[in-house]
Structure 1
């Protein structure tokens, strides 16, 4: 069982590291550094490449590698086993640390196997409906009423069972008192079926359907962020719509193996923060429909711990049975 103490002690352990001379740290950490991501090319590796391209001085070359498989866990395990010298990093959603422990019976890693370095961006989730939902359904309240009246058609798609997006949809149904049937997909299949009218709604990151919402092919009813999104400012939040428990953000962040010396962690953090201040990264994130969101290193572990507690309660409330 992964506890809050486990997560916080893992972060504290990062600062009990071996000494590295200032002269050594003035040089690039390695000739080539590697950033591993756990999914096929898309938002995650796009973000990693965007930030890596502006991390000048950290390494002579930074290579972003996608290692998809096992819902991203292959990449996580590879970084766990890598040399703790700053040459191998994990770039991943925080769910790997705060969410996966509650949906898998066993994991081949533990949060204490990693040192959290920095978040870089966040995005809320968007509840979007398609042509199978009548045009006069314009608000979340309208949609809830329609779902109650049409239970056989109250379906939503997400990137897969056991994901945070799956649980957000399930919690909407529980909170609003209707059976919201989940249809799991891989890749962009959910959006494609939404446009075709196969399913009624999707619960996905904003970037997945933003273009189709802007064109009028789909309708966005609510976002899960703490405030309205810059990308769909006319769309209310779940809190505004009466569902504060569904407030949620997906954060993307860097991690290194737990025994990485603190001076190297600090050097990496400095390089990341410098990259986030560049116009290139800000513009690139806007194109990906995510917002820069760097959380101070001392607050990062606390965020993982508190979110882990919250997601444990959500997963249990839905009756989800952890899988292998």
Structure 2
């Protein structure tokens, strides 16, 4: 134990790497960058974001799971890596429940049902009717199989008894580009396209969360229009390799929670349509277990598998 105690006392003595397991431009990347700059100032060492996308986040997750538990390698990921991926990938090269540990939650990310402007619908009720009347003719993009926007699409299909074709991408940003270009018809957006909504380049029809977004208070939730219990929100946050000294974990949790309390970071995350979500490591871990139960039934019933 003595080397670990000495490590914790000396930490941090060099740059810290935050692995983001999705491509640049997506919600995970934007959240990581919003927090990394003030975290760098708080710790007195550079905090560098390293995007390692692929396999639904498993590539970046594996890199962190196999890194030294010394506080110099962290992971910023959506909750799906821990709560969803073990159910949709029969063989993973690491065990998210054992090989990484929760450090600090960052943000609760909402999903927004957006459609391309040329789609002949004015509101979500018309969209549901259109989807049911045109089975298999609509396509929707997502950041990848098993992502919260993908599961939102599957929930939507299940609860409306409609069928649309899922088109998985390697991240939210490329999926959004194809929605803007008209290559797909709709998307459950984790907030990166809201400026395009304001610019009139996309139609925002509904929020796939238990409550309305304060950014668009007039836009209904899917629950309100009849899809009772619809909730596709997920919590993004920081993880570290298992075995991280308790002192380092506690310091990181404290500093990140302080950062989440600053107005600049609150505003940045609100710009994605999300909300800051400071938690203890234990509460963050409990949320992942709750989401495992929430999404597990859907994954089994829809037979969702990873890429």
Q: TM-score, normalised by structure 2?
A: 0.88
CA distance in structure 2 between the partners assigned to 1:318 and 1:260 by the alignment: 37
Question: Contact 1:102–1:312 (CA<8 Å) still a contact in 2?
Answer: yes
Q: 1:295 Cα shift?
A: 2.5
Q: 1:40 Cα shift?
A: 2.1
**DSSP 3-state at the match of 1:89:** strand
Would you say how many aligned residue pairs link Structure 1 and Structure 2?
303
Q: Which residue, out of 195, 204, 208, partners 1:224?
A: 208
1:102 partnered with 2:92: no
**DSSP 3-state at the match of 1:31:** coil
**Aligned counterpart, 2:236:** 252
Q: 1:278 Cα shift?
A: 2.3
Q: 1:48 Cα shift?
A: 1.4
Q: Which residue, out of 230, 237, 245, partners 1:261?
A: 245
**Aligned counterpart, 2:164:** 180
Q: Which residue, out of 8, 13, 16, partners 1:33?
A: 16
Q: Which residue, out of 62, 66, 87, partners 1:81?
A: 66
**Aligned counterpart, 2:113:** 127
**Aligned counterpart, 1:151:** 135
CA distance in structure 2 between the partners assigned to 1:147 and 1:168 by the alignment: 15
CA distance in structure 2 between the partners assigned to 1:80 and 1:191 by the alignment: 29
Q: 1:47 Cα shift?
A: 1.8
Q: Where in structure 2 are there 5+ consecutive unaligned residues?
A: none
Q: 1:182 Cα shift?
A: 1.8
Question: Contact 2:18–2:74 (CA<8 Å) still a contact in 1?
Answer: yes
Q: What RMSD in Å do the two structures reach over aligned CA positions?
A: 2.5
Q: 1:197 Cα shift?
A: 4.1
Q: 1:164 Cα shift?
A: 2.7
**Aligned counterpart, 1:285:** 269
Q: Where in structure 1 are there 5+ consecutive unaligned residues?
A: 1-15
Q: Identify the range of structure 1 (80-89 vs 144-153) with the bigger mean alpha-carbon deviation.
A: 144-153
Q: TM-score, normalised by structure 1?
A: 0.84
**DSSP 3-state at the match of 2:47:** strand
CA distance in structure 1 between the partners assigned to 2:63 and 2:111 by the alignment: 29
**Aligned counterpart, 2:56:** 71
Question: Contact 1:171–1:318 (CA<8 Å) still a contact in 2?
Answer: no
**DSSP 3-state at the match of 1:153:** coil
Q: 1:192 Cα shift?
A: 4.0
Q: 1:319 Cα shift?
A: 2.5
Question: Contact 1:86–1:256 (CA<8 Å) still a contact in 2?
Answer: yes
**DSSP 3-state at the match of 1:217:** coil
